[in-house]
Copies of this chain bind each other. A is one copy, B any other.
């Protein structure tokens, strides 16, 4: 498959989200124009994005909402038979909030374990899942073939933990630590840098009046 730009990749979940919204509203058919109006994109931008994946729908007839949503789910990888398993590393406030975020389980992401090095939280639970000591992390991942590690440890610990993960079957790290992780190419890293995002907001507030588009995240 030809190389697809990261901007297009980042729009895939937005398309998927928009189509789910339309499904909930009972809309059965849509068009690039109608989707674009909801998303602040032009119809030609959407058609161009979809062409990266061979195109969908039929010229002049638009898209069937449920069918297109299914096609996008398959491209994103949401149709994997057993979904995705994940562990949370760092069972502080943010780790716990993410563990309890019901949208993830709805899309097939299953929290199987949580880890921390703080004796005060080891043995507690997140949504019924036990918080275990860090020493058990690597074995747990191997034994349970965990797909994704959610990293909510302090900045100072993040790279060390990531190095431990490099030796496991983990395929993706969802990193919330304010650090740019260095990982071998076999592990995908996707970061949410909260403070960076808040600072971007602040910068744009200072420029306001000139322009203020919705986040392009």
Contact = CB atoms under 8 A, between A and B. Distances in A.
Interface string A81-116: 000100000001110111011011001010000000
A142 interface: no
Interface string A61-89: 00000000000000111100000100000
B194 A214 contact: no
Total copies of the chain: 2
Contact of A194 (B183, B192, B213): B192
A212 interface: yes
A40 interface: yes
A171 to B, nearest CB: 5
Interface size class of A (residues with CB under 8 A): 35 or more
B201 A190 contact: yes
Interface string A181-212: 10101111111111111111111111111111
A98 B200 CA distance: 16
List of 4 A-B pairs having minimum Cβ-Cβ separation, nearest first: A13-B196, A190-B201, A97-B97, A93-B97
Interface of A: 1, 3, 6, 9-10, 12-14, 16-17, 38-40, 75-78, 84, 92-94, 96-98, 100-101, 103-104, 107, 109, 147-148, 171-172, 174-175, 178, 180-181, 183, 185-217
